[in-house]
Structures are given as C-alpha cells and as structure tokens.
Amino acid sequence: MIELPSRADRLPLQLASPLLNAPGVWAPGSRLPLESLGALVTPLLSLEWDGDASAWESGPGTFIWAPPRRPLKRFLQRLGRERSTLPHLLALAPATPGEIGRTLAEIIELEEEQVAGYLLWHTTPDMVSSARSLVPALPLLAELPCTETVSGARALVEAGADSLWVGPPQVEGGKRLWGPAALPLLLAAITALHKELPEIPLIAGAGIASPSDAQRARTAGAALIALDPAWWVQPGLASEIASSL
C-alpha cells in the first residue's frame, strides 16, 4: 500500500499501486487492463459538455491532443455501473472558481462512494482554494503543465493542494503535447519541483512509454506514474511498469 502524505487534518491518498491513468485515457467500456492501477482517474468532468470529440495530431514521439470534457452527472451515473473496485480520482475541469463549487456540490449530492480524491486539471490557486473549502479532508491533486514555474506550483500548494500532477506541456488551442517527446520537459520539471517542494508528492503525468521512463521519473522525484495515450498502443504497458516499480 502506498500512502501519499498530507496535512494532519486531511485524509491521505492510499493506493495499492503507484500507477494511474491520465484523464481521458480510460473511460467506461474501455478494454484496457486495469488490474495494475492504484486508482481510476476519470475523464475530465465539467458542468458543460464539449461533445466528447477532440481532434489530434501525431508524429514521431508526439501526440497532440486535448482530453475531452464529459458531462458530470451523466458520467457519474455511468461510472456507478462499472464493476471495478478501484478507488476513483475525479478529474475536474471547471472554467471558474464558482463552477468548481457547483461541480463539487453535485458530486456530493450523488454520493459517489468510491471517490478517493479530486484532480483539478489546469487549475488556479483560486479554484484550489474554492475546492478545499468544500472538501476540507479529501485529497486534492492540482495539475499544472510541466513548463510552469516553481512559484506557480507553490501557489497551488499554499491554496490547499496536497499533491501536484505534473502534466504535459501546452501547445496551441488548449491542446497538450503527449508522448516520449514530453519526457525531457517532464523530468526537468519534476527534478526542480522535488528540490524546491520536497514534502509535496508529485505525479508524473505524461511522457511515460516504458518501464525505464517510469524509473527515471521516480528517480527524479515522482511518487506516482500516470499512463498517457501511449497506453492505447501498448496495452501491456501498465503491467510492465507496475512490475518494474
């Protein structure tokens, strides 16, 4: 069992494995093997639906893609029919601090029993603070692109984030750069963040395409590893990485 540290007045994130999936990589009905994961990260959830479709581009070592947003209530109802016993990390993509409040109020009303924590995608200190006021005890993971500054990461922690999800770099139109090409940027960011914020758990959120990539991320300071779209073309990647960690 892995336990990510948190403040004494908050619940720690407890997982059976250090392996997760990035938002949008898994969805109900997917045939990806889940037995090596420590938790299921949902697709990005929002009060607004963007149609589920997201154009993508690929090249050598790159995959440019923006995870689509799913409608919150409909998705959680579908999630409740899944047979997986894994804990859930709900990935939220609100547009404003006010929307995060309404989003969390709906989740609390639905009484989703397997929620282990929340991932706030491309978030701000104001959104983290708003979320923390509504869920004072549950783990909050704040995502920031790996090209953001340490001061930006520190602001998220001061606002109430327990862990930092170091995500893929942004490119045009709100899309992200996934795949092995993102790994050098990711490793540099994790190294810098671990040096400046050693007490904060870090999640390597992109660029992991092999067990050796995962080992490099752990050596740099990552506590958890997230599988990005590379998992779609390497279904055995989860078990290979889990066996190596």
Q: How much is the pLDDT for 21?
A: 97
Q: Give the separation between CA 239 and CA 85, rounded to whole angstroms.
A: 18
Q: Where are the domains of the chain?
A: 2-20+62-73+88-244
Angle 195-200-206 (CA atoms, 0-180°, nearest 5)?
80
Query: Which whole-number Å values give the CA distances from 9 to 102, 137, 159, in the listed order?
Result: 24, 7, 15
DSSP labels, 52-107: S----EEETTEEEE-PPEEEHHHHHHHHTT----S-EEEEE--SSHHHHHHHHHHH
pLDDT, one tens digit for every residue, the chain (245 residues): 889 988 888 999 999 999 999 999 998 888 899 999 999 999 999 877 766 556 778 778 888 988 888 888 888 888 777 767 899 999 999 878 888 888 888 887 666 667 899 999 999 999 999 999 999 999 999 999 999 999 999 999 999 999 999 999 999 877 899 999 999 999 999 999 999 999 999 999 999 999 999 999 999 999 999 999 999 999 999 999 999 98
One CATH from 3.20.20.70, 3.40.50.300, 3.40.50.1240, 3.40.1710.10 for 2-20+62-73+88-244: 3.20.20.70
Q: How much is the pLDDT for 6?
A: 84
Q: How much is the pLDDT for 224?
A: 98
Q: How much is the pLDDT for 149?
A: 95
Q: Give the separation between CA 87 and CA 89, rounded to whole angstroms.
A: 7
Q: Give the separation between CA 28 and CA 35, rounded to whole angstroms.
A: 15
How would you class 151 by CB atoms within 10 Å of its CB: exposed for 0-12, middle for 13-18, buried for 19 or more? exposed
Q: How much is the pLDDT for 38?
A: 96
3-state secondary structure of 200: coil
